[in-house]
């Protein structure tokens, strides 16, 4: 069966509309490398750069370090705002097992105790393995394990979704 993927640019517009009403002085947006950071950059352009924000690379917090070792190119995390008391919206491109988000939450708590953490993703592809779910998602689909849904960027920065199949 052929799966037709939606236009990622339209999904992004929906994401902006869903996040916009949640922004207050206490809100901070945190993008997870690398797709979540791409989304964060575009969100800030839409919502205004004065929204508190930061980036996370969860390489040092992954639960599969003993099996897979360290990611070859970790990026420094950058949380330049006061985490204590902030309402944080984590931004990621595709939600799958929930393990990345667990790692991201563990890392955030090493900066301080946030008032709340929510999760916004462009796509929820199914396959959750932990009791973690996105509060905001613009596209939900149930994919089998050997399908890999990815957010990619054209040279001009526009988003598109791609589905790959592994053996």
Partner 1 sequence: MHNPQLSDDGKLKHLLSIEGLPRNILNQILDTAESFVGVAEREVKKVPLLRGKTVCNIFFENSTRTRTTFEIAAKRLSADVINLNVNTSSQSKGETILDTIDNLIAMHADMFVVRHAQSGAAHFIARHVGPHINVINAGDGRHAHPTQGLLDVFTVRHYKPDMHNLRVAIVGDVLHSRVARSEIHALTTLGVPEVRVIAPKTLLPQHVEKLGVHVYHDMREGLKDVDVVMMLRLQNERMNGALLPSAQEYFKCYGLTQEKLDYAKPDAIVMHPGPMNRGVEIDSAVADGNQSVILPQVTYGIAVRMAVMSILAGNS
- The smaller minimum CB distance to partner 1, of residues 3 and 72, is found at 72
Query: CA 61, CA 41: separation in Å to the nearest integer?
Result: 23
Between CA 78 and CA 49 the distance in angstroms is: 16
d(CA 17, CA 104): 24
Least distance (Å) from partner 1 to the CB of residue 113? 9
Buried residues in 31-43 as b, exposed as e (16+ CB within 10 A)? bbbebbbbbbebb
Q: Is 59 in the site for partner 1 (CB under 8 A)?
A: yes
* Residue 34 binds partner 1 (CB under 8 A): no
* # residues contacting partner 1 (CB under 8 A): 22
Least separation, in Å, of the C-beta of 70 and partner 1?
4
Options 85-93, 101-109, 131-139, 145-153: segment touching partner 1 (CB under 8 A): 101-109
Q: Which pair of tokens denotes residue 39?
A: 């989304």
Range in contact with partner 1 (rule: CB under 8 A) among 11-19, 40-48, 76-84, 155-163: 76-84
Smallest separation (angstroms) from partner 1 to the CB of 57: 7
Q: Which stretch binds partner 1 (CB under 8 A): 20-28, 37-45, 66-74, 151-159?
A: 66-74
Token reading at 115: 């008032």
Is the separation of the CB atoms in 108 and 83 below 8 Å?
A: yes
Sequence-separated (6 or more) residues with CB below 8 Å from residue 94: 35, 121, 122, 123, 124, 125, 149, 150, 151
Q: Could you give the string, one character per residue 109-138, with x where binding to partner 1 holds by CB under 8 A and - elsewhere?
A: xxxx--------------------------
Instruction: Tokens for 43, please give them.
Output: 């969100």
| 78 touching partner 1, by CB under 8 A | yes
Binding residues for partner 1, rule: CB under 8 A, are: 57, 59-61, 65, 68-70, 72-78, 83, 106-107, 109-112
């Amino acid at each position: 069966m052929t799966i037709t993927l939606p236009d990622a640019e339209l999904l992004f517009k929906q994401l902006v509309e869903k996040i916009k009403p949640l922004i207050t002085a206490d809100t901070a947006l945190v993008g997870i490398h690398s797709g979540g950071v791409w989304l964060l950059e575009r969100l800030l352009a839409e919502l205004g750069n004065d929204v508190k924000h930061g980036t996370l690379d969860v390489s040092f917090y992954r639960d599969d370090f003993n099996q897979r070792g360290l990611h070859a190119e970790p990026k420094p995390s950058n949380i330049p705002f006061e985490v204590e008391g902030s309402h944080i919206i984590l931004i990621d491109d595709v939600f799958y097992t929930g393990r990345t988000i667990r790692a991201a939450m563990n890392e955030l708590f090493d900066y301080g105790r946030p008032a709340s953490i929510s999760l916004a993703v462009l796509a929820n592809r199914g396959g959750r393995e932990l009791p973690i779910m996105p509060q905001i998602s613009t596209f939900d689909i149930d994919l089998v394990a050997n399908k890999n849904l990815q957010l990619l960027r054209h040279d001009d920065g526009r988003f598109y979704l791609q589905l790959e199949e592994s053996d």
